[in-house]
Amino acid sequence: MARQDPKKDVVIVGLGWTGAVLGMEMAEEGLEVLALERGEDRDTVPDFKYPNIADELKYGIRYDLMQKPSSSTLTIRRTESETALPYRQLGSFLPGDGVGGAGSHWNGHTWRPQPEELRLRSYTIERFGKQTIPDDMLLQDYPVSYDELEPYFDRFERMSGISGQAGNLNGKTIPGGNPFEGWRSADYCMPPLQQTYDATLFADAAKAMGYHPFPRPGAIASESYVNEYGMQLGPCSFCGFCERYGCYNYSKGSPHVCILDALKRKPNFSYKTKAEVLRVELAEDKKTATGVTYFDHRTGEEVFQPADLVILCAYQLHNVHLMLVSGIGQPYDPATGEGVTGRGYAYQMSGGVQMFFKDKEFNPFVGTGSNGMVIDDFGINQIDFAREGFIGGSYISSGVANGQPIRSMPLPAGTPAWGKGWKEGIGQWYGHAMSIGSHGSCMSYKNCYLDLDPTYKDAFGRPMLRMTFNWNENDIRMTQFMRGKMEEIATHLKPDLMQSGFKKEGAMYDVRPYQTTHNVGGTAMGEDPKTSVLNRYLQAHDVHNVFAMGAGAFPQNIQYNPTGLLGGLAYWAAHAIRTDYLRQPRNLA
């Protein structure tokens, strides 16, 4: 028999970025709010303190801040003809763990989608005709427009402390910024960070070729900053320990330095760690939730936590899993195309060109996770989908993030992987390499989805989440297009050696090498309950007192890193809950 705890107004599942934002918004409404976090509690000191956190083996290689597959994982297959197997060793993506979630160990890249990306289906049909859309592609509009979201993007950016350079202020093009971005009501809250040598070389080459380089926007402070909660960031020291690490320098925007100390002061907010939510409990008519059941790892018992409002703020994969095991939304069936929960899982398509220069020294140990110069000349709103034969786009960038000795030691192809030859390679090339990367869209397809695994169960007896995902021709054509453009820029830089890494036709998804932790979809937002789980306020169509934050809401992925969009959506949803839902709880759409 599960323990039952006293009822709360709101229970929040997961205390990362969106959990902290929603916690604050609900607490400011005066509600009794409880956040349940499955991982450990974490804070800058002691958990990220210097120099302990700058331990590449512990955090960069052994993933100390990430979820452990032995306690939580999913199964993965590429095609329906394969048998999905558990993801037993982290590789392709790295879900975060503990208070702060992925906000602890991210790089800080914070983008808004292009306005066209939020209405991609309509935009594609209007511009290029319906026939441009491949049959197997689930191309959908987001049910909310850029103009509606703009104030919430702005709020998230100001809260999380973004350094950058606006390119479009209220429709006016600002030199030095991204001329292809959507309008901004105000400039970034901090000026852009200083750039490293490789980024400067790239930007100069891009400019000479007629492109429009601008500094990458990121949640890395370029100066002292105080946000709306009175929370503070200090200027970055370019130590290069961002991705996979917590920041010891109070410089990287994270739930800890941007929200949590302010939130913890609220007497009506509390949180529990080591509290792993197993399912959302529904009322008999399945139209409302009564609370959640979680496993309390401290006491070793199941707990029923009643609540009037359940807000899922776990990582995208876990939100989808929770909805599937709780019976929220009809599970997607690829055979019939019916059902919505788990439908439209998407990822991110990226590629890179590595260059080696005998006579250039890049000092790669100087860097930040958001370092770099970018061009958006081949972004989604600059591509002729009909002419190029794909729907999508990429931003292209260069700028070293770190020079860590184990994982950031690029060597020319053919260099021995160990021994004398390897040592000679390191001696010759360490610090002499730079790269250009592309970060691009990945559409959703009928045969890429999440469902419950028929074989494997987790420690609580729940079927594991199963991912069926493979690369699709459309996105491979997109990345090959980028390859052409990027190799031109690389050639312009006249390196001594150059090598490219892009998905080629027929490439199969490989879960072993790290690619990106931008897993999206599965709880898509949309107007039509037949093709989406959530409405435009991230509220479950079927269960009105369940809201789900995060990138699961993306009907297909954008070309950018997802945090800016999911952060804006979180404030957008919170606004709807505060100003409308709480007055009259119901389906808002």
d(CA 500, CA 253): 32
Residues 8, 32: contact at Cβ < 8 Å?
A: yes
Question: Judged by CB under 8 A, does residue 233 bind another protein?
Answer: yes
Give dist(CA 108, CA 412) in Å, integer. Answer: 29
Binding piece for another protein, criterion CB under 8 A, among 20-28, 219-227, 388-396, 417-425: 219-227
What is each CA distance from 557 to 142, 148, 328, 474, in whole angstroms? 11, 19, 22, 13
Stretch touching another protein by CB under 8 A, among 57-65, 109-117, 211-219, 243-251:
243-251
318 is catalytic: no
At its nearest, how many Å lie between another protein and the CB of residue 32?
A: 20
Quick one: which of 110, 249, 288, 474 contacts another protein (CB under 8 A)?
A: 249
Residue (of 498, 495, 492, 398) closest to 438 by Cα position: 398
Q: Read off the DSSP letter of residue 57.
A: I
Q: Which residues partner with 282 through β-bridges?
A: 289
Candidates 235, 306, 334, 412: give the one binding another protein (CB under 8 A): 235
> Two tokens at 237?
């020291």
Q: Which of 404, 437, 374 is nearest to 218 (CA)?
A: 374
The span from the CA of 303 to the CA of 281, in Å, is: 12
Q: Which stretch binds another protein (CB under 8 A): 124-132, 244-252, 392-400, 562-570?
A: 244-252
CB of 197 to another protein, least distance (A): 17
- The answer to whether 527 contacts another protein (rule: CB under 8 A) is no
Number of residues that bind another protein (CB under 8 A): 27
365 binds another protein (CB under 8 A): no
- Asked if residue 45 binds another protein (CB under 8 A), the reply is yes
Interface pick for another protein out of 46, 175, 419, 427 (rule CB under 8 A): 46
Contact between 250 and another protein per CB under 8 A: yes
Q: How far is the CB of 121 from another protein (least distance, A)?
A: 43
Q: Which stretch binds another protein (CB under 8 A): 232-240, 437-445, 488-496, 508-516?
A: 232-240
Closest CA to 76 of 317, 261, 309, 305: 317
Please, is 209 exposed, middle or buried when counting C-beta atoms within 10 Å of its C-beta (0-12, 13-18, 19+)?
Answer: middle
Q: Given 109, 256, 318, 518, which residue is catalytic?
A: 518
Told to check if 193 binds another protein by CB under 8 A, we report no
431 binds another protein (CB under 8 A): no
Pick between residue 176 and residue 405 the one whose CB is nearest to another protein.
405
Q: Is 86 among the residues that bind another protein (CB under 8 A)?
A: no
Q: How far is the CB of 322 from another protein (least distance, A)?
A: 31
Per the CB < 8 A criterion, the answer to whether 469 and 481 are in contact is no
Q: Which of 219, 257, 307, 565 binds another protein (CB under 8 A)?
A: 257
| Contact (CB, 8 A) for 549 and 311 | yes
Q: Which of 2, 169, 209, 262 binds another protein (CB under 8 A)?
A: 262
Q: Which is nearer to another protein, 110 or 222 (CB)?
A: 222
Question: Quick one: which of 510, 454, 450 has its CA closest to 318?
Answer: 450
Report the distance separating Cα 212 and Cα 378, nearest Å. Answer: 10
- CA angle in degrees (0–180, nearest 5) for 508-340-153: 85
For position 50 contacting another protein by CB under 8 A, the verdict is: yes
Considering only 18, 23, 44, 195, the residue that binds another protein (CB under 8 A) is: 44
Does 267 interact with another protein (rule: CB under 8 A)? no
20 binds another protein (CB under 8 A): no
Q: Of 210, 230, 267, 300, which lies in the binding site for another protein, with binding defined by CB under 8 A? A: 230
Nearer of residues 160 and 249 to another protein, judged by Cβ: 249
- Alpha carbons 573 and 548: distance in angstroms, whole number: 9
Distance CA 19, CA 260 (A): 10
- Distance separating alpha carbons of residues 511 and 406, to the nearest angstrom: 20
Q: Which of 346, 344, 321, 322 is nearest to 334 (CA)?
A: 344
Only segment of 122-130, 246-254, 435-443, 518-526 that touches another protein (CB under 8 A): 246-254
* Position among 248, 347, 469, 509 found at the interface with another protein (CB under 8 A): 248
* C-beta atoms surrounding 35 within 10 Å: 28
- State yes or no: residue 191 binds another protein (CB under 8 A): no
Q: What's the token pair of residue 267?
A: 């007497």
Q: How many CB atoms lie within 10 A of CB 482?
A: 27
Which residues of this chain interact with another protein, rule CB under 8 A?
Answer: 43-46, 49-51, 223-224, 226, 229-235, 237, 239, 248-250, 257, 261-262, 264-265
Just list the catalytic residues: 518
